[in-house]
Structure 1
Amino acid sequence: MARIAAHGGGLVILLWLLLVVGGSVSAWFSNDKSQRAKNEQPDSATGTKPDTQDQSCFCHLTGVLDDCFCDIESIDVFNNFKIYPRIQKLTERDYFRYYKVNLKRPCPFWPDDSQCSIKDCQVEPCPESKIPVGIKAGNYNKYSQASNTRSDIEECEHAHELGAINSTLSNQSKEAFEDWARHDDAQDHFCELDDETSPDAQYVDLLLNPERYTGYKGPSAWRVWNSIYEENCFKPRSVYRPLNPLAPSRGDDDGEGFYNWLEGLCLEKRVFYRLISGLHTSINIHLCAQYLMDEGWGKTVWGPNVREFRHRFDPAETKGEGTRRLKNLYFLYLIELRALYKVAPYFERSIVDLYTGSAQEDATTKDLLLQIFNEIKAFPMHFDEKSMFAGHKMEAKTLKEEFRLHFKNISRIMDCVGCNKCRLWGKLQTQGLGTALKILFSEKEIKNLPENSPSKGFQLTRQEVVALMNAFGRLSTSIKELHNFRTLLSDQR
């Protein structure tokens, strides 16, 4: 009986082992088959079959983004089919193609590194004769043409600057109040704005000066980004490592380092880093997509450089950080998308015209803009800015001011870029993001603005509007270019 029991117990154990191992093997084969079937499905964004070896830049670029509730695939479809075609048309209109900028402002942080002498670094200014008359009128175009008689302008300016203050106030008191009003407006600004009245400020036709690789690189370019990451991004005081994604590694960085300490920061500080990283990523994608390919026979050819794209975003060449950089681009896209959603009521008022001096041009431009806003309103997964600066009132106010000043400092660093074309697009995209942050975190109410009162509450200058839409257009282009690079990598198999 003991032998039977022993043999019976062994048989039970043997059967149990067969069931467990068999089940595990079966599950393994089932999972492997499922995974292979999944890999053989066409990619939703490209229509091609992914290959993790040939498309390692994209193999983990999927799923829900950190710090928000939106998935990358939804953004791809929304941007590439609904937003990108419209934003391209919008930024080609006269109102958005001419941007006034001062490219001669000195670097406020270190001696000039000398200007880039490469011909592709130069910016072609736009003659005054080419600028539409309505745009040359400056802030005159913020409101409808009908309301812009001289007396109306003076009345609006008086109401905006002096409010209900009695006209018998002394000049000194009026100046003090005006200083206070300017200071109050400045609290909304997240970036350093160029003085459009400066003799050094000039109009630039953005269509004639496209953003692309100019050859500007080396210590001067590295110094700009290093200053942005090392001196202006939030990080624990006890941690030191090269935050610049393009900075040389110290040898002990496994690619996970910055995310390990980033997760220890509060939401606002994580968001700040991800915005800067996303902006950097977007700019690098533009340079990879419009790379100088050939200058032979007197003809310059620009096009996508897959090798350069891999260098900047392949996990194998970036110690695992390439995919995170791309995810930060999507995160930045959501932030600016949310700002446009929030500011839509401002532009929907009939009193706000995109004034160029041509009624037909203005109507077409505003119609395109409102089409974009309608698409944005239908997007179901917007970032919730109310989750930020929502703690203890005084602590939140202090953190918000620190956040604002850090970003404002970064906008000033753009005046240290040695390549004029790089400086142009860096300033425009930084100012566009700064305008988006102003919209998201302004204490002035944007909704329910009086239809016929342009002088009260939230305001945007033409410079801010042009920067806002062009910056978002650049992000939209970056996401579209990712689709193109995915296709190119697939074709190389």
Structure 2
Amino acid sequence: MIPLVSGCNIGHKPRPPPMLADLTGVLDDCFCDVESIDVFNNFKLYPRIKKLTEKDYFRYYRVNLKRPCPFWPDDGHCSIRDCHVEPCPEVRGQPHSLLFFSQQANTLPDVTDCEQAKELGAINSTLSNQTKEAFADWARHDDAQDHFCELDDETSPDAEYVDLLLNPERFTGYKGSSAWRVWNSIYEENCFKPRSVYRPLNPLAPSRGEVFTSDSRVSPGLCLEKRVFYRLISGLHSSINIHLCAEYLLDERWGRSVWGPNVQEFRQRFDTAETKGEGTRRLKNLYFLYLIELRALYKVSPYFERAFINLYTGNSPEDSATKELLLQVFNEIKSFPMHFDEKSMFAGHKIEAKTLKEEFRLHFKNISRIMDCVGCSKCRLWGKLQTQGLGTALKILFSEKEIQNLPERSPSQGFQLTRQEIVALINGFGRLSTSIQQLHNFRLLLKENR
């Protein structure tokens, strides 16, 4: 709350500015404003991208959820029943998986919370026999293509297809020091941090959130490339938080779960007062990430516009409709006038630029591996997918020359995307598009609650 201002009439309190009032204007490191993105996304792109992610080609994601954490023992606090982890201990840590820190999240949960997390975090692995047979056909089709990138989870015997529509990203109740440690490791060990960033406090402490500044005016020690990388991770973190606040378990009666937006949870993670002024910056980083991935989709459109590129599922009419919808999405993206200018990145000396790119790649690879340390299967699923989606977007932006030289009638040996990368790219951007649309809904709810 804003304190009373001297000189005001006695008995009259000035109304605090509405939450999200500062989420406006031009973003740092680019020349696009929040309002233009809102209109473009919510009214033009979001409806198309939502429809696209519901197509069979994009709704099934192959992922290995059994890979052990490579950095620390998997304690699996309040994890789910399908993960084969240790039972929940008597004393657990705090806050929600992939959520910013809050006072409410810093209260010790009881056993009921833990049991609820097991249920809500479980992966729905239901697949029809017909669908399973189709997957084998998809794999044979993909094997006929040229691969020129690391396949990661795709070749693991533990990898399996997951229906993303049956496993939506939402609140699971996953809490604990393990959840805190994941994001702490990403920010502390893997990010190019501005000088003002300090190590996030223990989740038991009352202070919440990581304090950081990404504006070039207050972070002179970071070049553009490193500011960009840090803001991408912060934007991803913000987007995930919005999803969990928007799809929160509000009630559970008569065996039915009621999901919907939780305004209080949203306030705790993004309100200026609750976050020591960092909430708006976190949300602006979400918009910045949106622009980066939007630019990657713009750049990669020639790859998909070639006639021989087929989004194969074995159902020819459906495959044609899916590609047509994808091309419509690309055409909509091309109409957006304020794309991020990636030419300013890695524009220095050739050797220095090459070093920075490699540094980017290695940092991001570590962050991808940290996602194997998320103890909740549903959180891990969406964390891995969105991380791979961002990694694919960066791969595209780093491959501009190769994309420009793509042959029209045959696969390229210079630039290729696997099915896994394509599914992650579109769904990852779909999550960002959904976040911005959900922000619009929260604006309306906050206005009603004033």
Q: 1:74 aligns with which of 15, 36, 47?
A: 36
Q: Tell me which residue corresponds to 1:106.
A: 68
1:123 counterpart letter in structure 2: I
TM-score w.r.t. the length of structure 1 is 0.76
Q: Is the 2:232–2:289 contact (alpha carbons within 8 Å) kept by the matching residues of 1?
A: yes
Matched, 1:378 2:335: yes
Q: Tell me which residue corresponds to 2:152.
A: 194
Q: 2:424 aligns with which of 467, 471, 478?
A: 467
Q: Tell me which residue corresponds to 1:360.
A: 317
Q: Tell me which residue corresponds to 1:163.
A: none
Distance in 1 separating the partners of 2:277 and 2:334:
35
Q: Tell me which residue corresponds to 2:406.
A: 449
1:310 counterpart letter in structure 2: R
Aligned-residue offset at 1:131: 2.3
Aligned-residue offset at 1:242: 2.5
| Pairwise CA RMSD | 2.5
Q: Tell me which residue corresponds to 2:54.
A: 92
Distance in 2 separating the partners of 1:256 and 1:120:
32
Structure whose CA Rg is larger: 1
Distance in 2 separating the partners of 1:135 and 1:74:
40
Aligned-residue offset at 1:297: 1.8
Q: Tell me which residue corresponds to 2:266.
A: 309
Aligned-residue offset at 1:264: 2.7
Distance in 1 separating the partners of 2:426 and 2:233:
18
For residues 222-248 of structure 1, give each alpha carbon's deviation from its aligned partner in whole angstroms, at most 9, with x where no partner exists: 000000001001136x76612589895
* Pairing of 1:143-222 with structure 2 (within 5 A): 153=144, 185=149, 194-222=152-180
Q: 1:320 aligns with which of 277, 284, 287?
A: 277
Q: Is the 1:275–1:331 contact (alpha carbons within 8 Å) kept by the matching residues of 2?
A: yes
Aligned-residue offset at 1:443: 6.3
**Aligned partner of residue 294 in structure 2, secondary structure:** helix
1:78 counterpart letter in structure 2: F
Q: Tell me which residue corresponds to 1:19.
A: none
Matched, 1:288 2:245: yes
Matched, 1:55 2:18: yes
Aligned-residue offset at 1:261: 5.5
Number of aligned residue pairs: give it.
398
Distance in 1 separating the partners of 2:212 and 2:317:
54
Distance in 1 separating the partners of 2:321 and 2:135:
16
Q: Tell me which residue corresponds to 2:231.
A: 274
Matched, 1:342 2:299: yes
Aligned-residue offset at 1:74: 0.3
Aligned-residue offset at 1:109: 0.4
For residues 203-230 of structure 1, give each alpha carbon's deviation from its aligned partner in whole angstroms, at most 9, with x where no partner exists: 1000000000000122111000000001
Say if 1:87 and 1:256 are closer, same or farther in 2 by CA, change over 3 A: closer
Q: Is the 1:54–1:490 contact (alpha carbons within 8 Å) kept by the matching residues of 2?
A: no
1:490 counterpart letter in structure 2: K
Structure 1 residues without counterparts, runs of 5 or longer: 1-50, 143-147, 161-181, 187-192
1:353 counterpart letter in structure 2: N
1:355 counterpart letter in structure 2: Y
Distance in 2 separating the partners of 1:100 and 1:254:
33
Moved more, 242-251 or 83-92: 242-251
Say if 1:308 and 1:353 are closer, same or farther in 2 by CA, change over 3 A: same
Q: Is the 2:196–2:212 contact (alpha carbons within 8 Å) kept by the matching residues of 1?
A: no
Q: Is the 2:214–2:227 contact (alpha carbons within 8 Å) kept by the matching residues of 1?
A: no
Say if 1:225 and 1:439 are closer, same or farther in 2 by CA, change over 3 A: same
**Aligned partner of residue 358 in structure 2, secondary structure:** helix
Q: Tell me which residue corresponds to 1:458.
A: 415
Aligned-residue offset at 1:263: 4.1
Distance in 1 separating the partners of 2:249 and 2:419:
33
Moved more, 239-248 or 129-138: 239-248
Aligned-residue offset at 1:447: 2.5
For residues 338-378 of structure 1, give each alpha carbon's deviation from its aligned partner in whole angstroms, at most 9, with x where no partner exists: 00000000000111010110111101111110000000001
Distance in 2 separating the partners of 1:245 and 1:320:
20
**Aligned partner of residue 320 in structure 1, secondary structure:** coil
Aligned-residue offset at 1:423: 0.1
Higher relative helix content: 1
Distance in 1 separating the partners of 2:383 and 2:351:
33
Q: Is the 2:138–2:312 contact (alpha carbons within 8 Å) kept by the matching residues of 1?
A: no
**Aligned partner of residue 310 in structure 1, secondary structure:** helix
Say if 1:247 and 1:484 are closer, same or farther in 2 by CA, change over 3 A: farther
Distance in 2 separating the partners of 1:239 and 1:319:
14
Say if 1:485 and 1:128 are closer, same or farther in 2 by CA, change over 3 A: same
For residues 146-199 of structure 1, give each alpha carbon's deviation from its aligned partner in whole angstroms, at most 9, with x where no partner exists: xx9xxxx4xx75xx8xxxxxxxxxxxxxxxxxxxxx6xx45xxxxxx5332322
1:68 counterpart letter in structure 2: C
Say if 1:59 and 1:331 are closer, same or farther in 2 by CA, change over 3 A: same
Aligned-residue offset at 1:276: 0.3
1:195 counterpart letter in structure 2: D
Aligned-residue offset at 1:134: 5.1
Distance in 1 separating the partners of 2:197 and 2:137:
50
Q: Percent identical across equivalent pairs?
A: 71
Aligned-residue offset at 1:452: 1.8
Distance in 2 separating the partners of 1:140 and 1:424:
24
Distance in 2 separating the partners of 1:255 and 1:445:
39
Q: Tell me which residue corresponds to 1:123.
A: 123
Q: Is the 2:62–2:153 contact (alpha carbons within 8 Å) kept by the matching residues of 1?
A: no
Distance in 1 separating the partners of 2:171 and 2:162:
18
Say if 1:194 and 1:256 are closer, same or farther in 2 by CA, change over 3 A: closer
2:312 counterpart letter in structure 1: Y
Say if 1:54 and 1:283 are closer, same or farther in 2 by CA, change over 3 A: same
Q: Is the 1:54–1:492 contact (alpha carbons within 8 Å) kept by the matching residues of 2?
A: no
1:73 counterpart letter in structure 2: E
Q: Tell me which residue corresponds to 1:137.
A: 137
Q: Is the 2:268–2:274 contact (alpha carbons within 8 Å) kept by the matching residues of 1?
A: yes
**Aligned partner of residue 204 in structure 1, secondary structure:** strand
Aligned-residue offset at 1:299: 1.2
TM-score w.r.t. the length of structure 2 is 0.83
